[in-house]
Chains A and B, each alone.
Chain A
Amino acid sequence: MTVDAPAEIRPRRRITSLEVLCVLFVVALIGQSWLVSALDTPALRTGATVFVAICVQALPFLVLGVLVSGAIAAFVSADTLRKVLPRRAALAVPVAGVAGVALPNCECAAVPVARRLIQQDVAPSVALTFLLAAPAVNPIVLVSTAVAFPGEPMMVVARFAGSMATALVVGWLWARFGRGEWFASWATRRVPAPRGARSRWTMFVETARQDLVEAGGFLVVGGLTAAALNVALPRSWFDTLGDQLILGIVVMAVLAVLLALCSEADAFVAASLSALPLLPRLVFLVVGPAIDIKLFVLQAGTLGRRFALRFAPLTFIVAIVCAVLAGVVFL
């Protein structure tokens, strides 16, 4: 490509994303009144509110998650993690489960953290156990469950047992059958350790920023989906299942996936579904934090689609089984 005329040597201007964004904003501003009136049907209005609510509610936790993730990338070396964790994945899995109790983390926050752990050479099974345990068995969630079910202390115990069992079983299954190639290659690439304090901080900020931008986008997709389902699902079809236990369990598990509630809040929803026996509601509480539609999108975006397509069904089934067993034992 030889260019002769000086004029042509000038940089070729391309339309960049920045310009696209500006145009988008201008169009949106001009069309604001149209936009508002288009959203003025009751269903869309409700959907928009639920969408904003999910985003507004989850973003702070995602921010916490990316800060932890950035801190791990910048300040915790792979060596340190190796020293802390037992060498054998089978033994390290329970350690990760316990770590989940100690580190209150919303499910959205746990995803970037889990990816960072994998990047720092932690065995994927261990990171995944943490991913499942952190949002489900932490003290905040257990307390809110106790508050939502004031007369049922065993509900808290059953939830803890069911969720912890899910995390451990999935971790062990992954240690045995999981394959590294299921992760997208860009997801697990190691970040080279920074040298020097200044570059550590730079790295901390840059990784946190990058994680936030990426995962935030996926969170928005998840929020959109959940909001649409929240509005579109006729609530009545799962409310009349009082006496059909098996169907109730299946429907509540599916509902947990589709509604994508925060693990802090789902206990209140479960408590309010008083037409159902406790067992299906326990399934709802155990499945919800482990896998839901918003998490699935987030995982697919963060760790790769091939991973998410395997991990989601595995988690879903294991969570149902563990919840039912925990329910039989404790309730």
Chain B
Amino acid sequence: MRRETQNILLVLLGGALLKISFTGTYLRYVKPAHQWLLIFAGVVMLVLAAFAIARDLRAHAATADTDLDEMVDAEAAEPVVARTEAVPARIARTDLTHLTITDPVDTGTVPVDAARAGGSRSDVSLAGDAGDGVVAAEHSGTTVGGAVPGDGGHADVDVVGPGGGPAAGAPADLGHARAGSAGGHGRPPVRGDHGGHNGNGGPDGEYSGSDGRGGRGEYSGSDGRGEYSDTGGRDGRGEYDGRGEYDGLGGLDGRDGNDGHGRHGGHDGHGHDGHDGHGHDGHDGHDGHDGHSHSTRSAWLLALPVFAVFLVAPPALGADSVQRAADTAPRVAAASEFDGSSLYPPLPTGDVIALQLTEFVERAAWDSADSLDDRRIRLTGFVVHEGDGGYLARMAIGCCAADAYPVKVRLDGADLAGHPDDSWIEVVVEVVPDTATKATEYVPSASVHALRPVPEPKDPYEH
């Protein structure tokens, strides 16, 4: 997944968290104490995303100018076939900031280790071995130049950097890659390969990026960034899984480009048809992409909670959960461990007093002082029909809805026919003594004196 997409998902997710914490919907999912945590998390997500977006924009702006110039240059140019002579390429490591490429000529292997580079660093080493490698690099977006190391002096490189992107790529410090006429053969380089050498190979094709620093650094191709997919048959190198999706942009500060390109965004694909000459344009210059292509794929899943919150907004748990748990043992928390009499202070005096459903059920089941008897209690909950009985129920949560458990009271003497499941009511009841026993699974019965529908409370759960 591209970096921009990740940032957008983060913004959305942070927005979703803020939305539910400010509208109060969060109470359907977690306990009230989590509100500040949610706000904090939402804000952090927005800040992280904003920071990354700001960096991308800055990098983009910096590249834009270069782009223009290059476009112009490129008009006249033709694709290049560059013959490199002794192109050195060794990309030793990229740390956050740099990619160094040096080239061992003649190395036989070309390990490309880009993709796996974790985090922000990537080590790429590639060295071309073979003599005539033909490398064609095609990049979209930002381009990459192909660097090609040949060993023996000739690697044919076709570099087409189409796009006005600033190209990247190539190992920056290529010592000298000569292309084009300079090498004697080859046509002038075309746009596109700039990168380490930014295009400077004019017609004569000589791009010597020797010092690498040429403008490079920082090319995050505008559009190109990200999504690097490599088709090419490189041989070998294992670790590079080609699957791409680098998110380019990079490095934390790649701009100092002292050695080479700092970042370049993606180019996609270079096909290399070549046999191993590979050159290979140092992808990876962008170090910033933090690598693991394996995992960026998981980021897609972040869209799920976003959809769920914005589009579906699942309701608080209700009758379905109560029925689902119907055949379970009593869930009268904690109180069941004791004999309990000392646990319950006397009820306040008054004609009708309001109690939480949890407390009502616990007292009915465990209070040896029978403090509920002959008292009128006001309870609020939703209706659940089970078998032939009607119940007043409430879900109680410890932390979030995943750990919710139901508490319920059987309502006697009330006509609940007009109240479907999940409709909220307030009742005034009197407990029927000794009904909360093991036989009833500690669900007390209560006779109803009054009943009226009420709206769903802001916090649908008890705690």
Contacts and interface: CB of A to CB of B under 8 A. Distances in A.
A213 B38 contact: no
B140 A56 contact: no
A35 B300 CA distance: 19
Interface in B326-346: 327-334, 336-338
A49 B29 contact: yes
B399 A264 contact: yes
A262 B320 contact: no
A62 B44 CA distance: 11
User: Which has the most chain B C-beta neighbours within 10 Å: A11, A18, A21, A199?
Assistant: A11
A212 B224 contact: no
B437 to A, nearest CB: 14
Given A42-B320, A214-B298, A231-B324, A271 B118 contact: no
Interface in B126-177: 136-143, 158, 160, 162-165
A235 B406 CA distance: 12
B268 interface: yes
Interface in B1-49: 1-2, 4-6, 8-10, 13, 17, 20, 26, 28-30, 34, 37-38, 40-41, 44-45, 48-49
Interface stretch (A187-195, A247-255, A323-331): A187-195
A235 B324 CA distance: 8
A45 B224 CA distance: 41
B314 A60 contact: no
B162 A148 contact: no
Interface residues of B, number: 119
B52 interface: yes
B212 to A, nearest CB: 19
Nearest to B116: A186
A207 interface: yes
A61 B163 CA distance: 43
Contacts of B398: 144, 148, 264-265, 267-269
Contacts of B75: 6
A321 to B, nearest CB: 26
Given A18-B4, A60-B38, A213 B329 contact: no
Contacts of B10: 209, 212-213
A274 B332 contact: yes
A81 interface: no
A202 B45 contact: no
Contact of B5 (A10, A17, A217): A17
Nearest to A7: B162
A98 interface: no
Interface residues of A, number: 106
Contacts of A80: none
Contact of B226 (A17, A43, A231, A273): A17
Contact of A51 (B2, B97, B138, B308): B308
Contacts of B304: 51, 220, 224
A88 to B, nearest CB: 27
Contacts of A273: 329, 331
Contacts of B245: 17
Contacts of A224: 304
A279 B143 CA distance: 64
Interface string B383-397: 000000000000001
A293 B462 CA distance: 27
A289 interface: no
Nearest to B159: A1
A216 to B, nearest CB: 5
A27 to B, nearest CB: 10
Contacts of B229: 14
A181 to B, nearest CB: 14
Interface in A1-22: 1-4, 6, 8-14, 16-18, 20-21
Given A1-B136, A230-B402, A203 B324 contact: no
B223 A11 contact: yes
B302 A148 contact: no
Interface stretch (A128-136, A149-157, A161-169, A172-180): A149-157
B158 to A, nearest CB: 5
A152 to B, nearest CB: 6
Most chain B C-beta atoms within 10 Å of own C-beta, residue among A2, A202, A206, A214? A206
Interface in A22-77: 24, 28-29, 32, 35-36, 39, 42-43, 45-46, 48-57, 59-63, 67
Given A10-B163, A236-B328, A39 B314 contact: yes
A61 B380 CA distance: 32
B315 interface: yes
Contacts of B305: 51-52, 55-56, 59, 220, 223
Given A2-B79, A8-B162, A56-B17, A206 B292 contact: no
27 contacts: A9-B191, A11-B141, A17-B2, A18-B2, A29-B311, A43-B320, A45-B320, A46-B321, A144-B398, A148-B334, A148-B398, A150-B338, A189-B118, A191-B120, A205-B52, A206-B120, A208-B48, A216-B13, A223-B305, A239-B327, A259-B403, A260-B402, A264-B399, A265-B397, A268-B333, A268-B399, A302-B295
Nearest first, the 3 closest Cβ-Cβ pairs linking A and B are: A265-B399, A268-B398, A217-B298
Given A50-B402, A226-B402, A273-B329, 20 more contacts: A1-B137, A12-B162, A17-B226, A28-B311, A35-B312, A55-B305, A56-B29, A56-B400, A59-B38, A60-B37, A60-B38, A144-B398, A149-B334, A206-B52, A217-B299, A220-B302, A239-B327, A267-B398, A273-B331, A274-B337
